[in-house]
A and B are shown apart, each in its own frame.
Chain A
Amino acid sequence: QQPVQSPQAVILREGEDAVINCSSSKALYSVHWYRQKHGEAPVFLMILLKGGEQKGHEKISASFNEKKQQSSLYLTASQLSYSGTYFCGTPGGSWGKLQFGAGTQVVVTP
């Protein structure tokens, strides 16, 4: 089953903060986050692993609550470049293939 993301969309001004949530009905061992600019391919942001390990290279933070089967992505002091659609993905099956949420559209205005 697809993870569920909220909100569907958020509009914020440059410098404001926003939180994007991702929840799953099944046990989560890791959560992936991707960002997609309009007309482009999704780009990897970070992976959060069970146990607290986090792999990523963007100035965007995230949390992973294994018990609640949830992850949250924090856009702090947003920049215009943060605009795009954010997807969370959860691996399943033997090979770690990802299932993605429906996405959260973020618009950052000047």
Chain B
Amino acid sequence: NAGVTQTPKFQVLKTGQSMTLQCAQDMNHEYMSWYRQDPGMGLRLIHYSVGAGITDQGEVPNGYNVSRSTTEDFPLRLLSAAPSQTSVYFCASSPVGTRNSGNTIYFGEGSWLTVV
């Protein structure tokens, strides 16, 4: 099983450039999300989706767009890259949980992005 697959693994961007981080999962999970991880700040939720055609903002959505046209794919778009977006990005998926229990999250291997 591939699980959650992210591409690219490493990317260097110039300020102002745009790019898309790809994420695909083969577990038929309804819930997909994007986190960014910065030193000392843990994992912060950028955007999430509970199914095809449904997306919502997380804690730090500014500068990012998402769409969910299929259950499998959940790309993250950086509209105009800024140095503050230098980070490690993790895509994740899970079956839909509940407010009371949540559900186990499966993470992709991460994408290291540097904006210069």
Contact = CB atoms under 8 A, between A and B. Distances in A.
A87 B102 contact: no
A102 B107 contact: no
Given A41-B107, A102-B40, A95 B96 contact: yes
Given A91-B97, A97-B31, A32 B41 contact: no
Interface string A89-110: 1111111111111110000000
Contact of A42 (B40, B90, B94, B103): B90
B22 to A, nearest CB: 16
A102 B41 contact: yes
Interface residues on B, range: 20 to 34
Contacts of B45: 97-99
Contacts, number: 84
**Secondary structure call for the B interface:** loop
A63 B6 CA distance: 34
A96 B104 CA distance: 10
B33 interface: yes
A41 B107 CA distance: 6
Which residue, of B31, B96, B103, has the highest number of chain A Cβ atoms within 10 A? Answer: B103
B108 A47 contact: no
Interface string A59-102: 00000000000000000000000000001011111111111111
Interface of A: 2, 29-30, 32, 34, 40-44, 47, 49-50, 87, 89-103
Interface of B: 31, 33, 35, 40-45, 48, 50, 58-59, 90, 94, 96-110
